[in-house]
């Protein structure tokens, strides 16, 4: 099986401060650029990449998060996507390695980077592991029962439970490599966390850690988190350095 890792990309004008913010949530650095324009941070399941918005090749806004992935074998994935009828599949070389691009059901370009064999001068960080049970969960605001689920399945993700019109999670590697949430859109406006553009997603997480512990770290770091009690469990919300809302879902309430 072609292991796929969920790795959304946050475009930001302040990579170091966003890195500090995500480390307070519980992520840990994995690959970091010497020049400071790129950082790849690990969760226990999945990763988050930070990209300097000013040097991005595409037109993006600081604070925008786009859906992205990493895969071990792009040629195999390209064949799978083409057989599934996904449009615009292309594999090519970039300065940092090979990348696959395709179009999602909204017509937006989605990129899948190949697992690098050459680190191109990036620093590999080890040491502390990411917080236990921390799972990256980028949320796409769309009809969960619409065509986007089939697109994620073509990429290799699997629905976590029955499809419904409200919210469905799709798991990579059974959840061990991150997950993508499809959330129904209320009204005509995207939530602020989603940013602009059809490829944009909200930067969310799930964790097995008590949210009060994460909130305490964030508060000590100068942020102002809030915790809400919901029917499904607790939810931490906090405004990140880019002015975007980030949500962390805590352990589920026992049924």
Q: What is the pLDDT of residue 195?
A: 54
Count of beta carbons in the 10 Å neighbourhood of residue 17: 15
Q: For the residues of 33-87, what is the DSSP string, one character each?
A: -TTSSEEEEE-SBSEEEEEEGGG-SS---TT-EE-EEEES-HHHHHHHHHHTT-S
Q: Say how far residue 197 (Cα) sits from the centre of its chain.
A: 16
Q: What is the pLDDT of residues 186-243, one digit of tens each?
A: 766 566 555 555 678 999 999 999 999 999 999 999 999 999 998 878 999 999 999 9
Q: For the residues of 127-192, what is the DSSP string, one character each?
A: SSPPPTT-EE--EEES-TTSTHHHHHHHHT-EESS---SSEEEEESGGGTT-EEEEEPPPTT---G
> Are the CB atoms for 235 and 214 separated by under 8 Å?
no
Asked if the model's pLDDT at residue 1 lies above 50, the reply is: no
pLDDT class of 183 with cuts at 50, 70, 90: very high
How many residues does the structure list for the chain? 255
Q: Which of the residue ranges 1-5, 14-18, 46-50, 241-245 would you say has the lowest mean pLDDT?
A: 1-5
pLDDT class of 167 with cuts at 50, 70, 90: very high
CA dist 204 and 112 (Å) reads: 20
Angle between helices 148-155 and 74-83 (to 10 degrees): 140
Q: What is the pLDDT of residue 188?
A: 60
Count of beta carbons in the 10 Å neighbourhood of residue 108: 15
The tally of CA atoms less than 13 A away on the side-chain side of residue 60 is 26
Helix, coil or strand: residue 19:
helix
34, exposed or middle or buried, with CB in 10 Å at 0-12, 13-18, 19+? Answer: exposed
Q: What is the pLDDT of residues 142-157, one digit of tens each?
A: 999 999 999 999 999 9
Q: What is the pLDDT of residues 91-145, one digit of tens each?
A: 998 767 799 999 999 999 999 999 877 555 555 565 567 888 999 999 999 999 9
Q: What is the pLDDT of residue 102?
A: 97
What percentage of the chain has pLDDT greater than the value 90? 71
Beta bridge partners of 205: 136, 248
Longest dimension (CA), the chain: 50
CA dist 79 and 240 (Å) reads: 38
Q: What is the pLDDT of residue 196?
A: 52
Q: For the residues of 167-178, what is the DSSP string, one character each?
A: EEEEESGGGTT-
| Six-digit token string for 215 | 């909130």
CA dist 220 and 233 (Å) reads: 24
Domains and CATH numbers, the chain: 4-119 (3.10.180.10), 135-252 (3.10.180.10)
Q: What is the pLDDT of residue 255?
A: 47
Q: What are phi and psi of 78, to 5 degrees?
A: -60, -45
Specify the DSSP element, H or E, that contains 212: helix 211-220
């Amino acid at each position: 099986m072609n292991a796929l890792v969920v790795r959304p990309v946050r475009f930001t004008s302040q990579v170091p401060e966003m890195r500090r913010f995500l480390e307070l949530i519980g992520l840990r650095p994995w690959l970091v650029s010497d020049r400071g324009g790129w950082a790849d941070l690990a969760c226990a399941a999945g990763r988050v990449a930070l990209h300097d918005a000013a040097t991005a090749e595409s037109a993006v806004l600081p604070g925008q998060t786009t859906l992205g992935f990493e895969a071990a074998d792009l040629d195999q994935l390209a064949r799978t996507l083409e057989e599934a009828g996904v449009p615009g599949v292309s594999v090519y070389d970039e300065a940092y390695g090979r990348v696959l691009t395709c179009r999602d059901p909204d017509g937006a370009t989605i990129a899948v980077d190949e697992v690098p064999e050459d680190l191109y001068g990036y620093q590999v960080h080890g040491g502390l592991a990411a917080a236990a049970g921390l799972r990256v969960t980028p949320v796409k605001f769309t009809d969960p029962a619409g065509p986007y689920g089939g697109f994620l399945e073509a990429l290799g993700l699997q629905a976590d439970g029955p499809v419904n019109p409200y919210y469905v999670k799709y798991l990579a590697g059974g959840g061990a490599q991150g997950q993508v949430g499809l959330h129904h859109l209320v009204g005509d406006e995207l939530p602020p966390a989603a940013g602009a553009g059809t490829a944009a997603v909200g930067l969310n997480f799930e964790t097995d850690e008590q949210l009060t512990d994460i909130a305490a770290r964030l508060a000590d770091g100068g942020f102002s988190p809030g915790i809400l009690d919901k029917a499904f469990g607790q939810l931490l919300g906090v405004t990140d350095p880019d002015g975007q809302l980030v949500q962390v879902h805590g352990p589920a309430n026992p049924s």
